[in-house]
Amino acid sequence: MLSPIVISGGVLGGCCKNTVEIYAEAQYLVFYSINPPYEKLVSQKGQRGPAEGGGMAATHGTPTGDLNAHGITPSGDVYWNQDAATLIELAVTRKEGMFSAHRALVTETGERTGRSPNDKFIVDEATTSEDINWGDVNVSTDLDTFTKMRAKVVEYLSAQDTLFVQDLYCGADFSEALPIRVINQNAWHNAFARNMFIRPDAERLASHSPEFTVMHAPHFEADAEQDGLNSHCFVIVNYQAKEVIIGGTRYAGEIKKSIFSVMNLILPKKGILPMHCSANTTGENTAIFFGLSGTGKTTLSADPNRALIGDDEHGWGANGVFNFEGGCYAKLIDLSEEDEPEIFGTTRKFGTVLENIVMDEGGVPDFADVSKTQNTRGSYPIEFIENRTLDSKGGHPQNVIFLTCDAFGVLPPISRLTPAQAAYHFISGYTAKVAGTEIGVKEPQATFSACFGEPFMPMHPGVYADLLSGKMAEHGAKAWLINTGWSGGAYGVGNRMKIRYTRAMLNAAMDGDLDNVEFVLDPRFGFEVPVECPNVPEDVLQPRNTWTDAAQYDATADKLAAMFNENFARYEAGVSPEVNAAAPRSMA
């Protein structure tokens, strides 16, 4: 193992570099000196079996615990709390992945290229059973099933010739952070976990004691019939045992989303709102962006004029907003340097993990190629975004943004909401399932996901909505609904909203440039829609004007309004008359 390169000063490669660039480029040189050029590497398809290891059993790094405490008796090497550079080196050596031309690690996840919501379960046990909103999303399993599958996972991990362990935190506000342990059989998944969660300093690592543990066995497949599961894949959360077991899927996103779900049960009991959102700030002006995968959370929060707090998961507590994560997990489909320069730049850094991308013969990623999946992903530490807050925290938000990808093409690209409308649309969580983010989804489908993250919200949506409404009222936050979906027609006819228009509208809203412009009331949805916005064509702001057939627009809009009302019927009894009155109405 090579020792780390230490560089004093700020110059490498003939030009001025910031700290992250120095680190990344130094590690690049280390790797290039011990790994063959790209063209000598052979692409490794995602295998069902584990990658090859080797060598005599040993412990690497400084253990901050004992795997025997989890019932795991390692048969081979155990790597504790290794940095990303070491893990990526091991991943390539073990043929778990390969380098791109720019030295990002490229991996494949096999048949599971997105989350597997039908294979996620929560153990129904006494300490949390009354807190869980049981149903089609939060599906229960019994303790016997968990115990049986846990024993199989422990036995499987114990038999591996190499294991990788990370002791990390979820939550940048350490007064509320959750200490976690992630145990992986693959180096690249361990690198993913290190990218995505909060990496403790030496002092916090020395005192780390996990309050939740993820045991990750992606190459172990269940026997669905024998084990009482839906498929060979499983993600099971046991809140009483404070454990997550994952098997049969190599899609790395299951690791981070399982811990997100855990936070979403723990924090509301403390009066803290957990949010599926991105966030950024100017230092004095903070904004949060709610939205499902593919609606623009990551893209829109990476703004050159605003410092990034985080791109996906946050808490809103007594001191403001804080990131749950230490990295970003960006969708890369159709990524371009022109539209998203900061995210594009991360794909060319050593330390980034790219999932399921296609490369040309020279090893350069082709982000327009979706032959493997439309859910191509990049995981990178948040330090790779130069324009960020140093502590991953921000003040109380002045603006709350609801992002939707309207597949019907009828919602305005920007609307201002009343407090009642904000509660209604937060609970509704309308968007489209964007192709590739779940197994079996090939094209956008209209869907409603409470709190813009229902698959990750174990409690009733009303719990989170009440917390949001209270915090918005306390801190005077404005609410906006942004449609990043289609304009000029429904999916297949119209076109996706141009990102430069969306950015211009967002900046105008957050900077106060819309405070004094004229608004018109949308007669169907009740939104206030601006008639003008800097750097945006006026006809784009009124969606009916973008359709060639106004009658077809009206029919489609009425259809969507009816879908809103049908969905919200299950929540009517638990909300105020004002929130119910915010529902859209048909104009037919």
- Going along the chain from its start, the domains and CATH numbers come out as 64-99+115-270 (3.40.449.10), 273-326+391-537 (3.90.228.20)
Mean pLDDT within 158-175: 97
How far apart are the C-alpha atoms of 38 and 97, rounded to whole Å? Answer: 12
Q: Which two tokens stand for residue 325?
A: 């994560």
Among 41-45, 302-306, 535-539, top mean pLDDT goes to 535-539
Residue 266 is which amino acid?
Answer: I
Mean pLDDT within 68-81: 97
What one-character DSSP code corresponds to residue 536? B
pLDDT class of 15 with cuts at 50, 70, 90: very low
Mean pLDDT within 559-566: 94
What one-character DSSP code corresponds to residue 50? P
pLDDT of residue 45: 33
Average pLDDT of the chain, as a whole number: 89
Mean pLDDT within 4-10: 32
More confident residue, 44 or 286: 286
How far apart are the C-alpha atoms of 387 and 403, rounded to whole Å? Answer: 22
Residue 119 is which amino acid?
Answer: D
pLDDT of residue 33: 36
Has residue 549 got a pLDDT over 80? yes
Mean pLDDT within 242-264: 98
Which of 12, 8, 46, 88 has its CA nearest to residue 350? 88
pLDDT of residue 588: 78
For 405-420, the pLDDT digits (tens) are 898 899 999 999 999 9
Q: What SS3 class is residue 511?
A: coil
Q: DSSP per residue over 313-332, as a string?
A: EEEEETTEEEES-SEEEEE-
Dihedral sign from CA coordinates of 467, 280, 396, 382: positive
pLDDT of residue 368: 96
**Would you say 104 and 353 are in contact if contact means Cβ atoms under 8 Å apart?**
yes
Has residue 427 got a pLDDT over 90? yes
Has residue 268 got a pLDDT over 90? yes
Which of 300, 273, 271, 274 has its CA nearest to residue 287? 300
For 105-159, the pLDDT digits (tens) are 999 999 999 999 999 999 999 999 999 999 999 999 999 999 999 999 999 999 9
First to last CA, the chain: 71
Cα separations (Å) of 70 from 155, 215, 216, 313?
A: 11, 9, 13, 28
For 354-391, the pLDDT digits (tens) are 999 999 999 999 999 999 999 999 999 999 999 999 99
Cα separations (Å) of 379 from 33, 293, 354?
A: 24, 14, 6
Q: Which two tokens stand for residue 502?
A: 């969306």
For 187-201, the pLDDT digits (tens) are 999 999 999 999 999
Which sequence positions are flagged as catalytic?
115, 257, 276, 293, 297-298, 312, 377
Has residue 441 got a pLDDT over 80? no
Has residue 43 got a pLDDT over 70? no
For 288-344, the pLDDT digits (tens) are 999 877 788 878 887 888 999 998 999 999 999 999 999 999 999 999 999 889 899
Q: In DSSP terms, which residues pair with 274 in a beta bridge?
A: 315
Instruction: Give the Cβ contact number of residue 565 at 10 Å.
Output: 15
